[in-house]
Structure 1
Amino acid sequence: MVIMTKLPSITAVFWIMKIVAATTLGETAGDLLAQTLQVGYLASSVILVGLFVASLVTQLAVDTFHPALYWTVILATSTAGTTMSDFLNRTAGLGYARGALVLLTALAAVFLLWKFSGRSFDVQTIRTFRGELLYWAAILLSTTLGTSLGDFLADDSGLGFGGTALTISGILVVLPAMRKTGVSGTLLFWIAFVLTRPLGAAAGDFVSKPVVAGGMGYGTIGASLLLGSTLVVFVGYTSWQRRPARVAEAAG
């Protein structure tokens, strides 16, 4: 069944919301539930994956783009990805490197299935139910992978939270220039989408961790409140931007 696109345009505001708010908030909120509230990684993963499924079902059921709903699903993938990664790396004992390899393999399998389905990787052209399912599967795995990569770079590599954020930021700055060399914009989008997760993971840890551990000392509660408020402001802004489009749709 063909449906109207329900995904946002890829603009500067999209990336700001993805990195500053949704991704970083996912890291701090996931840690808030699993660590600060002592729910545990396994139980937190079950809870957050349940929230992801519930929000995704709602997203798949609607026919148009709703900013609040879309970013709720993104946030759900971010928080679920944090606890799922921590469960694999810590509770299951795989460690950051092996955990990241497992997740990278799973993500590659999704993209392989996506390719053989004959559907475009361009997120701006996704207008079918199956295409959207592949899109969200890739997002969930990329956010989980990003958490493992962020933890690996920050802890095992010795870069620390700030060093990891600076390293990933440097790579992301270079990506737009690669478009001029003929590299596919769709490929660059997915590379950026994967890399923004470890950036958010490192940034989330940098904001929430104690000063003695190399962070800013806001804690998971303070950081989550700050980032959550920022996300709400941006969602309100994007909803306000869409008012002319909604009026036109209603008139049509």
Structure 2
Amino acid sequence: MATNTERRSATPDVQGLLNKVPEVTVWFWVIKILCTTVGESFADWINMTLGVGLINTSLIFTAVLAAALAWQLRTPRYVPFVYWLTVVVLSVTGTLYTDILTDSQDVPLAVSSSVFAVVLAAVFGIWFARERTLSIHSIVTRPRELFYWLAILVTFALGTATGDWTLELTGWAPGIAVLLPLGLIASIVLGRSLGAGTVLSFWLAYILTRPLGANLGDWFASPGGDGGLGLGTAVTSVVFLAAILATVVHLTRSRSDVIEADGRTHTVGAGNPTRERVMLGYYAVVAIATAALLIRAHQLPHAAMAGEEGDTAGAASAPLTPEQATTLFPAAEVAKFRTVTTETLAKLNAGDQAGATTRIGDLEKAWDDDQPTLQPKNGQAWTVLDGQIDQVLGALRTSKPDKTTEVKALTTLLTSLG
């Protein structure tokens, strides 16, 4: 979604620096989605495949983010390589922060989604109150640049939480899950063409590219039997990283996305206030329709189970015990989870804390890999066991592990797995 232009007056605090962000062109959205995808896949590869662990991976990328952001802030103008490197690292970091809340702190995705939405609204509110603009065409002062990057970090965290919450509610496979954010972005493009506000449309689309890119990454990486292409996280990361580098080289050479003017002379999109208010109603209708779709998708697995077992709707939605949840999944898959859990407990009892922590990572990977096939069978059963597995992961990966707590969590999970 490229933006139109109108002249804006100078403000006293504009420092006359060149704009530090790129113009919003088709290339902007292409590379943004690529960055999101490689961020998701690369984080999964380090966290799970290499067994670094969620907390350690988060600490590593927080340090990398500090370095990348410092580099970006020191540059006097927009430099494609530096800018997009910062976006990639922010994508990974925002994702990890959400995963910590979900996996380590057991914060429900509905809660984290709501909290991040409120935080993002607060960032935009303070930004606008201080600078009187949220336009990316005026990132020419240090405060505006800091607000910009803070907003981007929160959008990645919010996009991760809402994307994961959608998968939790619906149980969609990666290939299907891609369609929702893609359709919503298409509706925003339509809304913008009909006169919706430029700034609102930009930030809505920016948030939605996060679940779109993540779902694309899952689709490429997931095994073919789970509805994916089976490339794995490592290959997916390399493929998308190569695409990012090629795009950055093109932008560096062509300079097609450089905003040459500074904040005192650049012109920014002028809209029709009446039409923008009307289009707010359009976006509200899209939001209501999306909520209705998610509610319907969430109800379908329970309705299917009720039809198969002859239960009433009320019985189908009754809480499941972990033992009941296990019986709803293929025995071979349950046996795989049980084997990893048993071996982890054995290592723990033998005093091999490091070995147990590493081995439990295999359970996390196996559970995540099977989510696209298990969750659609029964979303309620999947959520029950997912909660127990999260408790086990949290017990083993805490900075100060307690063996009694670890053994209790593992034993409870083993009981559920039969």
Q: What is the TM-score of this pair, normalised by structure 1?
A: 0.92
SS of residue matched to 2:178: helix
Among 17, 20, 25, the residue aligned to 1:11: 25
Structure 1 residue 239 displacement after superposition: 0.5
Among 63, 71, 80, the residue aligned to 1:50: 63
Q: Determine whether 1:169 maps to 2:146.
A: no
Output the amino acid matched with 2:37.
T
Output the amino acid matched with 2:224.
V
Q: Residues 93-129 of structure 1, C-alpha deviation per residue, up to 9 Å, x if partnerless?
A: 1132222222222212211211221341110121111
Among 29, 34, 38, the residue aligned to 2:51: 38
- 1:186 corresponds in structure 2 to 199
SS of residue matched to 2:131: coil
| Richer in helix (by share) | 1
The whole-number CA distance in structure 1 between the counterparts of 2:113 and 2:102 is: 8
The whole-number CA distance in structure 2 between the counterparts of 1:113 and 1:14 is: 26
- 2:102 corresponds in structure 1 to 89
Contact 1:103 1:144 in 2 (8 A): yes
Q: How large is the RMSD of aligned CA atoms in angstroms?
A: 1.5
Q: Residues 193-239 of structure 1, C-alpha deviation per residue, up to 9 Å, x if partnerless?
A: 00100111111111112223322211111100111111010010001
The whole-number CA distance in structure 1 between the counterparts of 2:95 and 2:238 is: 17
- 2:251 corresponds in structure 1 to 238
Q: Residues 152-180 of structure 1, C-alpha deviation per residue, up to 9 Å, x if partnerless?
A: 22233223322221011111112122124
- 2:162 corresponds in structure 1 to 149
- 2:92 corresponds in structure 1 to 79
Contact 1:29 1:220 in 2 (8 A): yes
Q: Residues 35-93 of structure 1, C-alpha deviation per residue, up to 9 Å, x if partnerless?
A: 11111111111111211111111111110111000000000011112211111111111
The whole-number CA distance in structure 2 between the counterparts of 1:116 and 1:217 is: 48
User: How many aligned residue pairs are there?
Assistant: 243
Q: Determine whether 1:125 maps to 2:138.
A: yes
Among 101, 108, 117, the residue aligned to 2:114: 101
Output the amino acid matched with 2:187.
V
The whole-number CA distance in structure 2 between the counterparts of 1:57 and 1:179 is: 34
Runs of 4+ that moved beyond 4 A: none
The whole-number CA distance in structure 1 between the counterparts of 2:146 and 2:118 is: 18
Structure 1 residue 186 displacement after superposition: 0.9
Q: Give unmatched runs, 5+ long, in structure 1.
A: 246-252
Aligned runs of 1:209-228 on 2, under 5 Å? 209-228=222-241
The whole-number CA distance in structure 2 between the counterparts of 1:170 and 1:136 is: 26
Q: Determine whether 1:70 maps to 2:83.
A: yes
The whole-number CA distance in structure 2 between the counterparts of 1:119 and 1:220 is: 42
The whole-number CA distance in structure 2 between the counterparts of 1:186 and 1:173 is: 16
Larger Rg computed on CA atoms = 2
Contact 1:147 1:197 in 2 (8 A): yes
Output the amino acid matched with 1:106.
V
- 2:218 corresponds in structure 1 to 205
SS of residue matched to 1:75: helix
- 1:250 corresponds in structure 2 to none
The whole-number CA distance in structure 1 between the counterparts of 2:101 and 2:173 is: 21
Q: What is the TM-score of this pair, normalised by structure 2?
A: 0.56
Output the amino acid matched with 1:39.
V
Contact 1:32 1:221 in 2 (8 A): yes
Q: Give unmatched runs, 5+ long, in structure 2.
A: 1-14, 259-418
- Percentage of matched positions with identical amino acids: 33
Structure 1 residue 26 displacement after superposition: 0.8
Output the amino acid matched with 1:198.
P
The whole-number CA distance in structure 1 between the counterparts of 2:208 and 2:90 is: 15
